[in-house]
């Protein structure tokens, strides 16, 4: 008698399906809050500092998830954080 072993993809799929079936939870809900900005360099730095002061990394796991410099010289960035600190 052979024992069926699940591969990691099967396990991940089943775990995601169980999470989606939890009462009161949207299947597409994400635990992270993301905010996108596109500002001139100095304003982008000021905005990032403001967000890190308002949502400290230790409590909200705040981070710059993505950033790039656009052709017009503006900085486009996405800040990711947890919605609340416990």
| SS3 state of residue 47 | helix
- pLDDT tens digits, one per residue of 1-49: 455 566 777 777 777 777 777 766 554 556 889 999 999 999 999 999 9
Arithmetic mean of pLDDT, 70-85: 90
**Full-model pTM:** 0.63
> How many Cα atoms are found within 13 Å in the side-chain-facing hemisphere of 37?
21
Q: Within a 10 A sphere around the Cβ of 56, how many other Cβ atoms? A: 13
């Amino acid at each position: 008698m052979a024992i069926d072993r699940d591969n990691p993809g099967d396990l991940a799929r089943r775990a995601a399906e169980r999470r989606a079936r939890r009462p009161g939870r949207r299947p597409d809900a994400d635990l992270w809050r993301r905010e996108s900005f596109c500002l001139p360099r100095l304003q982008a730095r000021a905005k990032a500092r403001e967000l890190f002061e308002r949502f400290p990394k230790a409590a909200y796991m705040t981070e710059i998830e993505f950033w790039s410099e656009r052709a017009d010289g503006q900085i486009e960035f996405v800040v990711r954080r947890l919605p609340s600190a416990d």
